[in-house]
Amino acid sequence: MAIPVFVLNGPNLNMLGTREPGIYGGKSLADIEKDCKAAGKELGLKVDFRQTNQEGTLVDWIQEAATAARGIVINPGAYTHTSVALQDAIRAAGVPVIEVHLSNIFAREPFRHHSYVSPVAAGVICGLGPLGYRLALEAIKPLVENSAKPL
Ligand code: DQA
């Protein structure tokens, strides 16, 4: 049976395709969702793909993942750099998290160099564009497949 994994996207990622294409590329979030679902099928993961512009909604979804999923791939958008609440939610959830960024946040403005999520993530992928989501799903597979956590 496919293993449930949440792929969560934060603010402004719904604008992908038209938003600063020089930084984020031309793919829409719907394109990335399609790719994630296809990768999930190959990997034996059931991908639940979501986006919100609200910080609290991301917190709600991370809490939901604690019982409804075995792992989380998250691109927290700008909340990466500001949100203690996301770090607390991930700590409490007790499932492995892979943090993804389309752009290389370390090659950009200094305020993007710090992440509140990275210290509680199993791994971080950034700067590889939409491919990062696929790589994150590949990386999370071995972390979730031997989980003894009941669903
Ligand atoms: C981002 C990087 C963040 O700094 C930015 O605020 C985003 C997108 C990325 O995917 O590269 O919204 O997370």
Tell the burial category of 42 from Cβ atoms under 10 Å away from its Cβ (0-12, 13-18, 19+): exposed
pLDDT score of 146: 77
pLDDT score recorded for residue 64: 98
Q: Are strands 3-9 and 45-51 parallel, antiparallel or unpaired?
A: parallel
Q: Binning pLDDT at 50, 70 and 90, where does residue 147 land?
A: confident
Q: pTM of the entire structure?
A: 0.97
Give 53-77 pLDDT, tens digit per residue: 999 999 999 999 999 999 999 999 9
- Residue showing tokens 């290389």: 104
Ligand 1, atom 7, residue with closest C-alpha: 77
Nearest of 95, 78, 63 to residue 24 by alpha carbon: 78
Say whether pLDDT at 1 is over 90.
Answer: no
User: Average pLDDT, stretch 131-146?
Assistant: 96
Overall average pLDDT of the 133-139 stretch? 98
For the annotated catalytic residues, the residue numbers are: 24, 101
Is residue 149 over pLDDT 80? Answer: no
Tell me the CA–centroid distance for residue 115 and ligand 1, in Å: 11
Pocket test for ligand 1, best of 8, 75, 108, 118 (most atoms within 8 A of CB): 75
